[in-house]
Structure 1
Amino acid sequence: MTDHTLSSQHTIADTVLTMPVRVRTAYQHTAMFVVDADAAQRMIDYSGLRVCRFGKGRALVVLMLMRYEDTDLGQYYEYGTNVMVNPPETPQASGLRALQSAGAFVHHLPVDQSFTLEAGRTIWGYPKVMADFTVRKGRRFGFDVTIDGQRAVSMEFSPGLPVPSAFTSGRQVHNTYSYMDGVIRETAGEMLLSGVRYRPGGVEVRLGDHPYAAELAALGLPKRALMSSSAANVDMTFGNARLISQ
């Protein structure tokens, strides 16, 4: 297995990518859900990571859609199911304070372009699969994700309230975790958001008949979101993955 941690360049489909990868223009829609921690843990047990527990046996799951416009990986849509987990060095951390250091474990990550699929799987170990996306724009933003002819998930977002740029103008550092071929990887990304909107609830989730939908249903979805948000632009960089175990 190649250790990508030390590589400054990667060749994907005859294209050389120089790290860190840059996202200059993208938009996102996200929804955060409080779910049963035991159910979330069962879903990601295969990874060896532990969900971040807070309250009385609760965990956070974030569903999101990204539209990448101007990036080193090209233009594409991407849907993610992310579970907030403890860093491997503090697997048993719990409580609201633990959420401050939690990272997002990427459990589902369908995309609609082959180049980003190969790059994501090869460099970062992300579980990217090919999917079809139907996007609806208007007063409400909606999308469907279909994999192998089966609908996995649909979401409809109501507009949120604008957040003053003073609260979102700083660069944020987020860690994501992935698991593939017996290896846990940690990837740090820097993100600058603009045009941010938030609202309590604000999203409708509908599940289809793909196996991904059954996994989401096992978490208790669809249910009311804790919070939904959107960002008119996401400026982001992310480097090589750090191998945690193999």
Structure 2
Amino acid sequence: MASHLILGRRVDIPLEIRDATVCSATYLVRADAARAVLAYSGMDVTELLPGKAACTLVFAQYRDSALEDYHEFGVAFLVRPPEAQAPPPRGLLAGVRDMHRAGFGTFIHWLPVDRRLTLEAGRAIWGFPKELADIEIRLGTPYKRCILRKDGRLVIDLLIRPGTPLPGAGSIAMDAYAHLDGVTRRVPWSMRPRGIRARPGGALIRLGNHPIAKELSELGLPKRALMTSSISHLSMSVGEARPLPSSRPVEA
């Protein structure tokens, strides 16, 4: 087991998150616009439809983990692992089948948090693009809401409507990717969700005047979500980050 010292606290890897609530909204966006956003990373998006990529907005309240309790918001894209071959997009269902055959990952483009410990750990251990922000999350009703402000400016106000209960999915393993300080890293993780609800559509968005809000608007938001989901109780295990060979900094 690896361990890291972050702000005087030992953080063991794999990191165990024992309880969190997570809500998300996934959108089909223009693949060329998504590729422009991710150009800095060397990663390529997965096209679920010809010319369409998947962008997910997610917010989470972490209640029990080695990084204490905190709020988090994320902007992520469905991407192909660097070694995967790009299947020709042939419609949404065929695209999803091809995606599962070829493998897929989630690229974390932006990941604001509201606590210093998770900020420092996320950047130092995994290379996640974490920044401090004001994140208000409301989970007390069936309608889940996140209001995110950065540098005193509204970025996004996102409301998730309640969906239909779904059976438990067991343990789900996948790879996350992130880029920081010139290096793209792969982070293996597994999730164990309970209390899943999902539905087509189901999101309301208000964008602010922050540069990230402008970037989301250039992707075509706000628009109807492809789907939304909420997980009332999520546990996770996050492994050690590994730099992709092609992204290692070149020695001068």
- Using the size of structure 1 for normalisation, the TM-score is 0.93
Consecutive unaligned residues of structure 2, counting only runs of 5 or more, are 90-94
Cα pair 1:52 1:98 within 8 Å, conserved:
no
1:162 matched residue in structure 2: 165
1:128 matched residue in structure 2: 130
Q: Give distance in 2, aligned partners of 1:194 and 1:83.
A: 23
**Structure 2 counterpart of 1:237, one-letter code:** S
- How far is 1:118 from its partner? 0.3
Helix, strand or coil at the partner of 2:48: coil
- How far is 1:141 from its partner? 1.5
Say which of 58, 82, 92 aligns to 1:88.
82
Q: Give distance in 2, aligned partners of 1:160 and 1:90.
A: 33
Say which of 63, 71, 90 aligns to 1:69.
63
1:198 matched residue in structure 2: 198
1:180 matched residue in structure 2: 180
Change (3 A) 1:93 1:183: farther
Say which of 145, 150, 155 aligns to 2:153.
150
Cα pair 1:25 1:235 within 8 Å, conserved:
yes
Q: Percent of counterpart pairs with the same letter?
A: 39
The answer to whether structure 1 residue 41 and structure 2 residue 35 are counterparts is yes
Say which of 27, 37, 41 aligns to 2:21.
27
**Structure 1 counterpart of 2:131, one-letter code:** V
Say which of 110, 113, 125 aligns to 2:112.
110
Please list the CA deviations of residues 87-122 of structure 1 after superposition, one character each: whole Å capped at 9, or x if unmatched.
Answer: 011264453144221111101100000000000000
Cα pair 1:158 1:203 within 8 Å, conserved:
yes
Change (3 A) 1:225 1:54: same
**Structure 2 counterpart of 1:115, one-letter code:** L
Please list the CA deviations of residues 49-100 of structure 1 after superposition, one character each: whole Å capped at 9, or x if unmatched.
Answer: 1111232111001110011000011100000000111101126445314422
Q: Give distance in 1, aligned partners of 2:88 and 2:125.
A: 31
Q: Give distance in 2, aligned partners of 1:41 and 1:99.
A: 17
Root-mean-square deviation (CA, aligned residues, Å) is: 1.3
2:237 matched residue in structure 1: 237
The answer to whether structure 1 residue 9 and structure 2 residue 12 are counterparts is no
Aligned length: 237
Say which of 53, 56, 73 aligns to 1:59.
53
**Structure 1 counterpart of 2:3, one-letter code:** Q
Consecutive unaligned residues of structure 1, counting only runs of 5 or more, are 1-6
**Structure 2 counterpart of 1:15, one-letter code:** R
- Using the size of structure 2 for normalisation, the TM-score is 0.91
Cα pair 1:49 1:91 within 8 Å, conserved:
no
Q: Give distance in 2, aligned partners of 1:183 and 1:94.
A: 28
Cα pair 1:131 1:146 within 8 Å, conserved:
yes
Q: Give distance in 2, aligned partners of 1:25 and 1:233.
A: 6
Please list the CA deviations of residues 127-149 of structure 1 after superposition, one character each: whole Å capped at 9, or x if unmatched.
Answer: 00001012233242211100010
| Moved segments of 4+, more than 4 Å | none
Cα pair 2:166 2:197 within 8 Å, conserved:
yes
Helix, strand or coil at the partner of 1:155: strand
2:208 matched residue in structure 1: 208
Helix, strand or coil at the partner of 1:54: strand
Cα pair 1:50 1:92 within 8 Å, conserved:
no
**Structure 2 counterpart of 1:33, one-letter code:** Y
- Aligned ranges 1:217-232 → 2 under 5 Å: 217-232=217-232
